[in-house]
Amino acid sequence: MIKRLSSLFGMLALLGSSGIVHAEQPAATAPSLVVVELFQSQGCSSCPPAEANLNAIAGQPDILALNWSVTYWDNLGWKDTFASAAYTDRQWAYARHHGRNQVWTPQVYIDGQTDLVGVDRARLDQAIAQARAQGPSVSWRNDQLSVGAGQPGSRCDVWLVRYDPRTLEVPIGAGENRGRTLPQRNVVRELIHLGSWDGSPHSYLVPPSSHDGLVTAALVQVENGGPVLGAAKASPLR
């Protein structure tokens, strides 16, 4: 018996030294998240209560909370320090998809489908609880994002979003919020279109970030401001 055990241990040692037991780590499939998007501006006096609601849910593991700073308040006394025309375009894409001819702040979209003003925490929590997005699997490996098979019904965009998970204390020097310091969390700093998805499994190269310390997430979304079918965060930060 001792001789047989010795032989077994020897075989295991041989396998270990040859590298056979060190299989490559599979891609990590992340659970899909409820996507809560707030469109706001530092120059909007109605926005801080909605931001407080977003800040309160930003750390929940089943939610992807995104804080988008829009530009159309920039000529009303205070230029938003994080605003981008691309973020304003994203809000307008939602408006057109929903048959509207205007946008406003603070506006919240849940999975790109339900929208509300965002200052009512009870309504926000109810909309999140009712979200039922079921989309393709999303997995990450090194610098690649993989989207699994599915039946989207319409052509989809694959977006890469990077945001700052910290609470940023932003002093406002002019405009409606002059003299206030606004706590802003999950502020989006990068929005990158990775490509399209038609229901077939596909992989996308993830470019490096232009900022340190940002969280990377991906959205699979029906094109032109349609519903978000799936979303996942990369882990760890990249």
Query: What pLDDT score was predicted for residue 236?
Result: 57
Residue at 193 is within a domain: yes
Residue at 3 is within a domain: no
Residue at 81 is within a domain: yes
Torsion angle defined by CA atoms of residues 40, 45, 46 and 52, in that order, rounded to the nearest 10 degrees? 70
What residue ranges in 41-142 does DSSP mark as E strands? Answer: 63-69, 107-110, 114-116, 138-141
DSSP label at residue 154: S
HSE, side-chain direction, 13 A CA sphere, residue 17: 6
**Helix, coil or strand: residue 15:** helix
Residue at 17 is within a domain: no
Residue at 208 is within a domain: yes
Residue at 10 is within a domain: no
Token pair, residue 22, equals 């060190």
pTM (2 decimals)?
Answer: 0.86
Residue at 119 is within a domain: yes
pLDDT tens, N- to C-terminus, the chain (238 residues): 434 434 433 443 433 433 333 334 445 555 679 999 999 999 999 999 999 999 999 999 999 999 999 999 999 999 999 999 999 999 999 999 999 999 999 999 999 999 999 999 999 999 999 998 778 999 998 899 999 999 988 999 999 999 999 999 999 999 999 999 999 999 999 999 999 999 999 999 999 998 999 999 999 999 999 999 999 999 754 4
Query: What pLDDT score was predicted for residue 7?
Result: 43
Residue at 150 is within a domain: yes
Q: What is the pLDDT of residues 167-179, one digit of tens each?
A: 999 999 999 999 9
Query: What pLDDT score was predicted for residue 133?
Result: 72
Q: Which residues form the domain of 103?
A: 26-233
| Number of domains, the chain | 1
Query: What pLDDT score was predicted for residue 132?
Result: 80
Residue 111 φ/ψ, nearest 5 degrees: 50, 30
